[in-house]
Chain A
Amino acid sequence: GAVVSQHPSWVICKSGTSVKIECRSLDFQATTMFWYRQFPKQSLMLMATSNEGSKATYEQGVEKDKFLINHASLTLSTLTVTSAHPEDSSFYICSARGASGTEQFFGPGTRLTVL
């Protein structure tokens, strides 16, 4: 149980376009979802926390107008990278937490490359 999927697993786009990444909890209701960014050979950096039906809470330094997060249902959250630029290229990972417990369940990640 507690499976989280991400789609797509990788995406290549041109500079200036927008890209949407989906994160789904497949077998549980995700009260909270988290979005992380990971640069090569580095740890995960939390970008934002979202609760179903509420606006996301962004970490300091993360541009909320650039990284749009929507948590429309208890099983789906999306991250849209707007007007992507090469510096947005990274590995994006989502996680989800159920109604009880502290554990987060991680998706397999999405590799974004902006040309």
Chain B
Amino acid sequence: AQSVTQLDSHVSVSEGTPVLLRCNYSSSYSPSLFWYVQHPNKGLQLLLKYTSAATLVKGINGFEAEFKKSETSFHLTKPSAHMSDAAEYFCVVSPASGTYKYIFGTGTRLKVLA
């Protein structure tokens, strides 16, 4: 069985400071992992994805995430937060075959303070 845990429901950072959104997963085999961002009343936008290639994944808007198998983690980071980063972030795990269903984390709301 697969599952994903986002360790923080809310994160607040000041503009210009680093962002860390934590995600741990459980999977019986090598999964695909994704981070999505959702702005209010909008659909989901893909930030980055891990699909068994390089463990350090770079995404859009300066975000990156590192796949750490030993820690079963896929934390999302950004060196310097911007006001426009304020949104809901979802970590997702998906099997590499079969139904390809997404297992969503509960989400982390990022607040960026001026």
Contact = CB atoms under 8 A, between A and B. Distances in A.
B46 interface: yes
A97 B100 contact: yes
A27 B49 CA distance: 21
A91 B44 CA distance: 12
A107 B100 contact: no
Nearest to B93: A102
Contacts of B101: 34, 46, 49
Given A43-B106, A46-B101, A104-B102, A91 B32 contact: no
Contact of B94 (A43, A102, A111): A102
Q: Is the interface of B mostly helix, strand, loop or mixed?
A: loop
Given A93-B43, A111-B41, A104 B100 contact: yes
A102 B100 contact: yes
Interface in A42-78: 42-44, 46, 49
Contacts of B45: 106
A32 B100 CA distance: 9
Contacts of A104: 94, 100, 102
Contacts of A102: 32, 51, 94-96, 100
Nearest to A31: B100
Interface in B74-107: 90, 94-96, 99-102, 104-107
Contacts of B42: 108-109
A43 B100 contact: no
A87 interface: no
Given A97-B100, A102-B95, A103-B34, A44 B90 contact: yes
Interface in B29-66: 32, 34, 36, 41-46, 49, 51
Contacts of A32: 100
